[in-house]
Structure 1
Amino acid sequence: IGSDLAGVTTTAVRDGDDYILNGNKTFITGGINADLVIVVARTSKDPENRRKGLSLLVVEGDMPGFLRGRNLHKIGMKSSDTAELTFDNVRVPARNLLGEEGKAFGMLAHNLPQERLSIAITGLATATAAVNLAIDYAKERLVFGKPLADFQNTKFVLAECATELQAGQALVDQALIALDGGTLTPADAAKVKLFCTEMQARVIDKCLQVHGGYGYMSEYPIARLYADARVTRIFGGTSEVMKSVISKSMGL
């Protein structure tokens, strides 16, 4: 659904006991192999409020008119397929409506804070893995006759990374407590996603640098972490959208 949750252009028009679904979806995780897909479609228009009139429809993989396009080639996350999907006059039974018609925005928005927190946790976890990889490599790699870990610059870089990890962990812990208590706000979820995904990028980049030329080789795990991490600042709402959510909560 991207960063603009209300910007859906796929339409579903009621026709008797069915909806006629038309439109296209891009960047759909698991779209190539999924047996069922849940589609956000516009069932009515309200020029004054784009959030109204969105509905969720369950589309079965063998429905006529449901077409799977390319399996998109990404720079990272290659173990997960990402598809283009097309709906060409797909007749979807009204019984496949998920929830109430026109109420999809509220349902989706309700889950956004939890989704963004889960992405933040992923960012923290992969950054932690990167630091552990860099520490192990620095202890084993000999430069000028001594371990890379013995150089002051290496110590300082990894100390900075450890500090960033601890700050990210504190934010994640605070957000998890709020989520468990039902008090996690959109702004606080945006803060933890923004910090942890941006921190992830900084930390993994530094850890790759510790690896030197080997860090740029795909056979080394740090290279995969580097490629996989980039998308976390995009999906679930871009870093720029997170800043907008946060600034709105500040009355700006």
Structure 2
Amino acid sequence: MHYAIIAAGEGSRLVQEGIQLPKPLVDLDGRPMIKRLIDIMLDCDAESLSVIVNEQMTDVRDYLESLTLPVPFNLVVKTTPSSMHSFYEVSRTFPSSGKFVLTTVDTIFHETDFRRYVKAFADSDDADGYMGVTTFIDDEKPLYIDVDEPSMTITAFRDKPWVGVRYISGGIYGLTPPALGILDRCLAQGTSRMRNYQRALVDGGLTLKAFPFSKIVDVDHAGDIETARRFISQGE
């Protein structure tokens, strides 16, 4: 499996709330959060690893360049206007074939959930993508996911909840090469948000499956750091 991490955000809310360390370097379990994520991916049979950081993140860049990893490592340094643009830039490092998993650096989950997810995606032969989802809602603007059960095929991505909604996007994207063609078209058409790109995947006829995680935590605010630490150490 090929993996990619988007770590190109400014982390401005953490800075405003008194956290001076760049978000990817915040310690969650004795490791910077980006190192924890890299270690999990390496433990899940990584064939290659790509990371994008912005041009202002010199400390993060220096840290990543100091790492010695056992797989090909691609570091992209570029400031982008959105996470979807960051995805586009880092996707240029992907091989022309094979499945890949992309996540943002501040998406916190348990390794056991991630390992099950990767195995399900790797073993699948009936889907163009596997999206990590959760019933735990702790996001300021969650992306709600409509699925056709029991197949767990995603039928729509919605901005607002509805009666009976169960899942939201967890920010974990398992995709295949056809998804990159749609990414190119989205950029050419001026699409600038990951949620609209995901809608384009469905509209483009790709089969996406939802894979439930027990819980996924986003680190957006200073208070989220302690929540993430407690989640990692205690499972709460």
Query: What is the TM-score when the length of structure 1 is the normalising length?
Result: 0.25
Query: Which structure ranks higher in relative contact order (CA pairs < 8 Å, sequence separation ≥ 6)?
Result: 2
Q: Which has the higher helix share?
A: 1
| Higher-Rg member (1/2) | 1
